[in-house]
Amino acid sequence: MIFVDSNVAIDALDPDSPFHGWAQDRLADALDGGVFFNHIVVAELAARAISVEELQRMLDLLRIPVEPLTDEVAFRAGQAFKAWIRNGGRRGALLPDFVIGAHASVNGARVLTRDPRRFRSYFPELDLILPEPTND
């Protein structure tokens, strides 16, 4: 299973993104093997939509199943967020990243993302699928 991070979903929908082709190719590959995201990603997509109907069109284009959050996911996210605060992070910021990391971790999923920072620090067990670095 592969958890699709919001930045990859957004890139796949945005033909102007420099990561558009990479995101579309990775999603096409991943759809055959099982992918998912959660309502945190849906909310981040909704911030780019002007209506529920437009959001639904985005979700239809992506064809990625939305999996519900569980108490175990919420607990794991909260524990990682607490560790981040103990390490000097700000309260109130970035909780969605921790929920995404926890959801992937609890489900034993890989993460398709282009932003590995918090995943590597707070969910080191995750296998990340990242774009290849370029020399541009």
- Which residues carry a binding-site annotation? 5, 97
Annotated binding-site residue numbers for Mg(2+): 5, 97
Q: How many whole angstroms separate alpha carbon 32 and alpha carbon 134?
A: 27
Q: What is the DSSP string of 36-91?
A: EB-HHHHHHHHTT-SSHHHHHHHHHHHT-PBPPP-HHHHHHHHHHHHHHHHTTPPT
Cα separations (Å) of 123 from 15, 58, 67, 133? Answer: 30, 28, 19, 22
Residues 67, 36: contact at Cβ < 8 Å? yes
What is the dihedral angle through the alpha carbons of 55, 3, 29, 46, rounded to the nearest 10 degrees?
10
